[in-house]
Structure 1
Amino acid sequence: MALDKPYEDVPGTTIFDSDQARKGYHLNQFCMSLMKAENRDRFKADERAYLDEWPMTEEQKQAVLDRDYNRALALGGNIYFLAKIFSTDGLSFQYAAATMTGMTQEEYADMMLHGGRSPEGNRYKEEKK
């Protein structure tokens, strides 16, 4: 029985729910593998070969290779697991979040220091009617 998911109506928002968890299980397991130094080294030495050891979809693998975190989220990635990828790259959470919003790191930091993203345009689509 499908659950009602009113949160699917929020523009630009991906909620990590049980369906997303199932879809991204192997992607997130790959990310968690990067907690071990030897796995980070293997991944950095040959990203494609390491990714091919995981039963992820080709689209998930390509999102990782492209460092397209928004696409990885849509494909079931959890932001806290995806953090293992940008940490492996030596990047901060702030840097990754900025790239996901289309901002520079400085613009993103400034926005967050001034109260975060405006709710205007980020409400339920149904509320705009």
Structure 2
Amino acid sequence: MENYYDAFKKIPGTVIFDATQSRLGYHLNMFAMSLMKNENRQAFKADEVAYLNRFPMSPVQHQAVLDRDYNKMIGLGGNIYFLAKIGATDGHSFQKLASLMTGMPEDDYRNMMIQGGRNPTMPIGPVEK
């Protein structure tokens, strides 16, 4: 019998945030959580590269933040609840981030969720800026 964890791995586009992902994304998530403080948000907005250089992220993680590629950040260990701090710094709601991550217009995403959510076999679209 298949276990619960393995069943989720079969859903296209699903990344399980487990201990391995947590370790992989530690510095990425610490950066994102730093944006809870206004002075850090202001420093990040003033010079993103300089602010990101304060955190020992991998070059791929660093670039994913600059590109605002949330799907990539999740694949690199980002926790969506922490990554939402980046979106909030950019003035985006959580709903807007989800629409960007699925490649759907925000209204379409909202309506899909109101109607019960995404079919798990539906492909995930490209990330838009």
Q: Bin the TM-score by the shorter chain.
A: 0.7 to 0.9
Match of residue 54 from structure 1:
55
Match of residue 28 from structure 1:
29
| Number of residue pairs aligned between Structure 1 and Structure 2 | 118
AA partner of residue 99 (structure 1)? L
Match of residue 98 from structure 2:
97
> SS of the residue aligned with 2:78?
coil
* Percentage identity across paired residues of the two chains: 61
Deviation of 1:8 (Å)? 2.6
Give 5+ residue unaligned stretches, structure 2. Answer: 123-129
1:51-97 CA deviation, whole Å, 9 max, x = no partner? Answer: 01100001001010000000000000000000000000111000000
Deviation of 1:10 (Å)? 2.2
Higher radius of gyration, 1 or 2 = 1
Match of residue 125 from structure 1:
none
More relative contact order, 1 or 2 (CA 8 Å, 6+ apart): 1
**CA root-mean-square deviation:** 1.4
Match of residue 41 from structure 1:
42
1:88 is aligned to 2:94: no
TM-score using structure 2 length: 0.87
AA partner of residue 73 (structure 2)? A
Match of residue 18 from structure 1:
19
Match of residue 126 from structure 2:
none
Match of residue 109 from structure 2:
108
